[in-house]
Amino acid sequence: MAETPPLDPAPAGEALLSMNEVTLRFGGVTALDAVDFHIDRGEILGLIGPNGAGKTTAFNVMTGIYQPTQGTVTFDGEVTSGMKRYRIAKRGIARTFQNIRLFKAMTAFENVMVGADAQHSTGPIAALLGLPRYRREEAAGREIAHELLDFVGVRGRADELAGNLSYGDQRRLEIARAMATRPKLLCLDEPAAGFNPSEKQALMELIRSIRDRGLTVLLIEHDMRLVMGAVDRLVVLEFGRKIADGTPAGVQNDPAVIAAYLGVDEDEVEEEVDDAS
């Protein structure tokens, strides 16, 4: 299939990624319904919503696992919907998965090296010949891998098999591996799932320090209260539709959002609010 031709480079200040009226249907299920939002460069955007709202599906569309039924995705000034997954990844989107996907029989260090290797410009022949350029890239990759293991707090366990790491370390290792591909946008799908409150808090701090390194972060989380303090902005999905988009404080008091989370009618929330005031 022919690739979508690149657009002009995005002007400074333009969104890093835009979902433009994206609809995705699976047979009779509309997983995303004309979803329209953007991610600004350098921000932490929280993508929240109840089970089945379409959060993971939105990731899958951005990263090219699914093609939209309608609408487009643009990333860094190019239309990326329609591109193959590896091309989108090369343009600078990395992700982690809701269910951990590590190479369990490889060490923590090797798992991160897989991410770093994906960025090599030299191919397998240069590697076989041991060409200097390949050796330089290899050395740089190792340095980055160690630094990232340190950054996420898994340094001491670099040589352990990923499958033997604690659950929390596996989650953090997955983040390090994604970062090793040197993405512009890092998408994290419920990275704090299964964590206790203090682990969750520590992870939110890690995510803020990831942003401080210059990455843009898209964070899927189920727990609205948890993301409130960590994100710059929130997009809320319910049944595949965007129901809110704004600052944490604004979204928190939005009757449609409260209703979605309580599983009640928006009118009921509005009545409660009226009664209380």
Ligand X SMILES: Nc1ncnc2c1ncn2[C@@H]1O[C@H](COP(=O)(O)OP(=O)(O)OP(=O)(O)O)[C@@H](O)[C@H]1O
Footprint of ligand X on 79-98 (CB under 6 A): 98
Q: Which is nearer to ligand X, 29 or 273 (CB)?
A: 29
Residue 57 binding: pick among ligand X, Mg ion, none (C-beta 5-8 Å cut-off by kind): ligand X
- From CA 277, how far away is CA 274, in angstroms rounded? 5
Q: Which is nearer to ligand X, 29 or 129 (CB)?
A: 29
Binding residues for ligand X, how many (CB under 6 A)? 13
CB neighbour class for 217 (10 Å; exposed up to 12, middle 13-18, buried from 19): buried
Footprint of Mg ion on 147-176 (CB under 5 A): none
Footprint of ligand X on 220-239 (CB under 6 A): 222
Q: Which is nearer to Mg ion, 116 or 220 (CB)?
A: 220
- From CA 19, how far away is CA 58, in angstroms rounded? 9
Tell me, residue by residue from 33 to 62, as one string, x for binding to Mg ion by CB under 5 A and - for no binding. Answer: ----------------------xx------
Footprint of ligand X on 18-77 (CB under 6 A): 26, 29, 31, 49, 51-57
Q: Residue 125: what are its φ and ψ, rounded to 5°?
A: -70, -45
Position 69 contacts Mg ion (CB under 5 A): no
SS (H, E, C) 95-157: ECCCCCCCCCCCEHHHHHHHHHHCCCCCCHHHHHHCCHHHHHHHHHHHHHHHHHHHHHCCHHH
For binding to ligand X (CB under 6 A), which residues are involved? 26, 29, 31, 49, 51-57, 98, 222
